[in-house]
Amino acid sequence: MADVIQLLPENVANQIAAGEVVQRPSSVVKELLENAVDAGATQVKLIVRDAGKTLIQVIDNGCGMSETDARMSFERHATSKIRDAKDLFAIKTMGFRGEALASIAAVAQVEMRTRRSIDELGVRLAVEDSTVKIQEACQTPQGTSIAVKNLFYNVPARRNFLKADPVEMRHIMDGFQRVAMANCDVFFNFYQNETEIFHLPAGNLRQRLVKIFGEAANKKLVPVHEETDVLKITGFVGKPDYFKKTRGEQLFFVNKRFIKSNYLHHAVVAAYEDMLPADQHPLYVLFMDIDPSSIDINVHPTKQEIKFDDERLVYNYLKVTVRHALGSHNITPTLDFEQEPAFQSTPTRSSIRPDTGEPRVGDHRPSRSLGDDKRQADNLRNWQRLYEGMGLAVSRIEGEAYEDDATVATPLPEIGVQTSVEVLEMDDVNAQFSKTQKEPYQIHGQYIISHIKSGYFLIDQQSASERILYERYLEALGNQPIAIQKALFPKTIELAPADAALLREILDEVNFLGFEIAEFGGNTFVVHGTPADLGANVQEEILLEKVLAQYKGNLEMELSTSDNLARSMARNASLRRGQILTVQEMAEMIDQLFACSVPFNSPSGRKCFIQYDLEALRKLFD
Ligand code: ADP
Ligand code: MG
């Protein structure tokens, strides 16, 4: 038999390599932006059409390329950034593998214009299927413009694999924001179709983060700065009350390179100790500068993972640094705790002492020391435990106050125990119940017990409320808009650019849910009205932000806009655990729940109720 092994043609080899580097439009965005930064640009413009599926263009004012370099740049393993193997251990640029442009040109139609300052004329190249189709002199400003068109046009399987536009757009925005954060001294702007969605003038990191996360972030950022011979850590962490439900605003950069690391994430979370509720994540943007020779960035094609020589040292140092930053800005648990409005207005509660013999919270506000911090952290822990025991601490962090103190102090209603003992012999227990005994009642501010003929339902009030609202919102989006409560004074709100872009996209739908929101230009919106049934004192901004965050979090599920929005809104407008209900309210809720088309589960899949049969209960006592 003849020999069978052949070398792959160049374009096929490139396509295979592209599989690793170019996973989706956002990978192209990242590579092009990093090249612009590596080229020393001070101004970088990103233009994206159809979530990058038809066009991704990056225009920079960096060093540009000579004609030969421009042509070379599309070859595999062609890089100006390293020369030999030892350079691999001293990498200061974002790129170095010389693969990006070659990979991109294997799976898209690429057009490049570039000119160095010393050249009068620039060069224009058109590359398709790894082949240069056009190469000619052209007039062009100093710097480089690269347009990537019709990504995966020649790899249908991969093109079909791309997600819906909002999902791809989300990835692109994440990628853009990461590069922008790591390079505050560069002016970036970002056009989605014809709209400028980010405009980020050169500035310091705080300014940049505020532009990206929105004005509200400004007061929530605690600076971090610590430096030793081997490692420097700078950046910001969010105050403990600035949690994020979704992970995504937790970013590490090592030598300006964004990396993912659960291990380091854990270090930061550990620094927050008990300040963090279970399902929430702190915001952080942290930069570590470390001698390039003590890390290996070449462990992953997209370079999002790196290896440290001494990972444990980095872990410990990071934890201590963040802890210190939180401490030195008085963001210690007890201070925060004292300011919690829910607790301020409840004197009875603050006079309950945890049984550790610790001084009362209100009693000590003296100068702080590390020992103090520790004690106060312990103190908070004890308090939390106390309330957790009562099933009441669940919503503390969200700042949801319990309605009044009386409800907290009231002993739990006695759950018909006596009755059942007395009527043990009777056949139809139910018939003996008086009207009040059949009324639903609430336990622990979380569950509702509702009698039915054969036993009772135990209803989870939050899940039930979510289910009811979800179906109502779906109906609203199907053309039965929810009533609007007009505001006396319209309120303008300013959103983070990514949120604003999203809201613009789904604004019509949002307005079906009882909002009356209008675009005001830029990232500003005017709220003329809010859903009537949410009451007058909704905090539009907070509700909207939460709904948008949830919506983004749901994107990966690829739901329809209506479904996603109805879920997100139901989730955030629903009754919470800990909310005390009147008999009337409970009865209404039960009616509404069982009028739902699917009363069994909340849209996120939690059970709404469990049924208990008397027969089964009786057996339990045998
Ligand atoms: P790498 O960045 O790993 O070197 P790339 O394929 O991304 O590999 O780029 C190849 C080379 O093309 C770079 O090393 C650089 O010399 C040149 N290049 C790419 N983009 C630009 C740009 N925007 N401005 C100037 N030179 C660029
Ligand atoms: Mg590169």
pLDDT tens track for 146-172 = 999 999 999 888 898 898 898 999 999
Provide the token pair at 578: 């800990």
The protein residue whose alpha carbon is closest to atom 7 in ligand 1 is: 100
Whether pLDDT at 201 is above 90: yes
> From CA 426, how far away is CA 419, in angstroms rounded?
11
Whether pLDDT at 295 is above 90: no
What's the average model confidence in pLDDT over 439-443?
89
pLDDT at 244: 63
Burial label for 244, CB within 10 Å (0-12, 13-18, 19+), is middle
β-pairing verdict for 250-254 and 284-290 = parallel
What's the average model confidence in pLDDT over 201-221?
90
451 versus 135: the higher-pLDDT residue is 135
578 versus 421: the higher-pLDDT residue is 578
pLDDT band (50, 70, 90) for residue 374: very low
Whether pLDDT at 428 is above 70: no
CB-based contact 394:577 (threshold 8 Å)? yes
pLDDT at 331: 52
pLDDT at 280: 74
Helix (H, G, I), strand (E, B) or coil at 223: strand
Starting from the edge strand earliest in sequence, which strands make up the sheet with 221-227, in order? Answer: 221-227, 231-238, 284-290, 250-254, 257-259
Whether pLDDT at 86 is above 80: no
DSSP character at residue 398 = T
Atom of ligand 1 nearest to the CA of 99: 6
Q: Closest by alpha carbon to 187, among 63, 59, 45?
A: 45
CB-based contact 505:471 (threshold 8 Å)? no
Whether pLDDT at 358 is above 80: no
Least confident of 30-34, 170-174, 572-576: 572-576
38, 75, 77, best to mutate for ligand 1 pocket (most atoms within 8 Å of CB): 38
C-alpha of residue 79 to centroid of ligand 1, in Å: 6
With a 6 Å cutoff on the Cβ, whether 602 touches ligand 1 is no
With a 6 Å cutoff on the Cβ, whether 39 touches ligand 1 is yes
Q: Which residue in the block uniquely carries the two structure tokens 């970088």?
A: 44
582 versus 292: the higher-pLDDT residue is 582
With a 6 Å cutoff on the Cβ, whether 73 touches ligand 1 is yes
C-alpha of residue 174 to centroid of ligand 2, in Å: 18
Q: What is the CA radius of gyration of the chain?
A: 30
Least confident of 335-344, 430-439, 568-577: 335-344
pLDDT tens digits for range 395-415: 332 333 333 333 333 333 333
> From CA 321, how far away is CA 319, in angstroms rounded?
5
> From CA 303, how far away is CA 261, in angstroms rounded?
12
Would you say how long the chain is, in residues? Answer: 622
What's the average model confidence in pLDDT over 60-77?
94
What's the average model confidence in pLDDT over 225-243?
86
For the chain, give the mean pLDDT: 79
pLDDT at 154: 92
Taking ligand 2, which is a single-atom ion, which protein residues have CB atoms under 5 Å away? Answer: 35, 95, 100
Torsion over CA of 430, 434, 438 and 444, rounded to 10 degrees? Answer: -120
pLDDT tens digits for range 503-540: 998 999 999 998 999 999 889 999 998 888 776 566 77
pLDDT tens digits for range 250-289: 899 998 999 988 888 889 988 887 777 766 778 899 999 9
pLDDT at 53: 96
pLDDT band (50, 70, 90) for residue 309: confident
